[in-house]
Amino acid sequence: MLQEEWGCAGAGCASRELNPDFAREVRHVATLIGADPSAMPQTCPFATIQRADEITLELTEAFCAMGIDGGFDPAAYGMLLGRTPTHVDVEAYKVWRRALAESQASDRAFAEKARKKA
């Protein structure tokens, strides 16, 4: 099973040394995102995506439901999650919005670069 080959912690598999092909993939991903390859988790690239913690799931669900066009809406957030938002919730939303904007700008720049090459 592929998860076992990766030693995917998210799937509950035992950690293991990556084979050379998988290690090369980890280095490639690090290059793409501008990260230090030695700081990259040596496991399945989907480990944290498929098994996100509860707070990550909660925040993602609430932020997506509120949409990206407006600002933080405490009433909507409270209705979605059944609790009053905290200062940390508001700050997390700001970080999420900033990361989303940076990701979209990067996507546009990549598409423009590809278009110019064609």
- Sorted by where each begins, the domain ranges of the chain are 1-51, 53-118
Q: Spell out the alpha helix ranges (H) of the chain.
A: 2-6, 20-33, 47-50, 54-66, 74-81, 87-117
pLDDT given at position 108 = 92
Global confidence as pTM: 0.51
By C-alpha distance, which of 105, 104, 76 is closest to 90? 76
User: pLDDT per residue over 75-109, tens digit each?
Assistant: 888 888 888 889 988 888 888 888 888 988 998 99
